[in-house]
């Protein structure tokens, strides 16, 4: 999984947010649709509490992009082989700083995208987050 594909692009990307229920599963779903199977994509959370994506995240991706993430199951960052990913995209400053402290040896793989967490907010917040993620991935 560590190999880069032609053109210097990454062949494996991990998206990480706090709970792996909103931003990172949406990013995973969007990236899989946009990048296809030429890139291995997963997501994980720093502290997952729930199992699966939130209903709002599922509904927004389905409505806006025709992407079904209803089968998503949350993963803890400790259960993912971080060293096997070419790039680890971290979706907020708190999680980024925590990962830098815990996994400083892998810091060269970390990229910060400071995307607002829509958890506990209205549907418009989820739509804004999805649009931000879509824009970054494209």
Catalytic residues: 17, 23, 117
CA distance 37 to 2: 15
Q: Which residues contact 115 (CB under 8 A, 6 or more apart)?
A: 17, 23, 91, 92, 129, 132, 133, 136
Please compute, for residue 123, the number of CA atoms within 13 A of its CA located in the half-sphere on the CB side.
9
């Amino acid at each position: 999984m560590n190999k880069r594909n032609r053109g210097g692009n990454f062949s494996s990307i991990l998206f990480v947010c706090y709970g792996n229920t909103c931003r990172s599963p949406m990013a995973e779903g969007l990236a899989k649709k946009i990048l296809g199977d030429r890139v291995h994509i997963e997501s994980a959370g720093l502290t997952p509490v729930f199992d699966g994506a939130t209903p709002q995240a599922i509904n927004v991706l389905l409505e806006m992009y025709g992407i079904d993430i209803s089968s998503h199951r949350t993963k803890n960052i400790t259960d993912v082989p971080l060293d096997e990913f070419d790039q680890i995209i971290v979706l907020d400053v708190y999680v980024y700083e925590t990962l830098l402290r815990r996994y400083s040896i892998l810091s060269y793989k970390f990229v910060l995208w400071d995307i607002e967490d829509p958890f506990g907010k209205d549907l418009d917040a989820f739509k804004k987050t999805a649009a931000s993620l879509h824009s970054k991935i494209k």
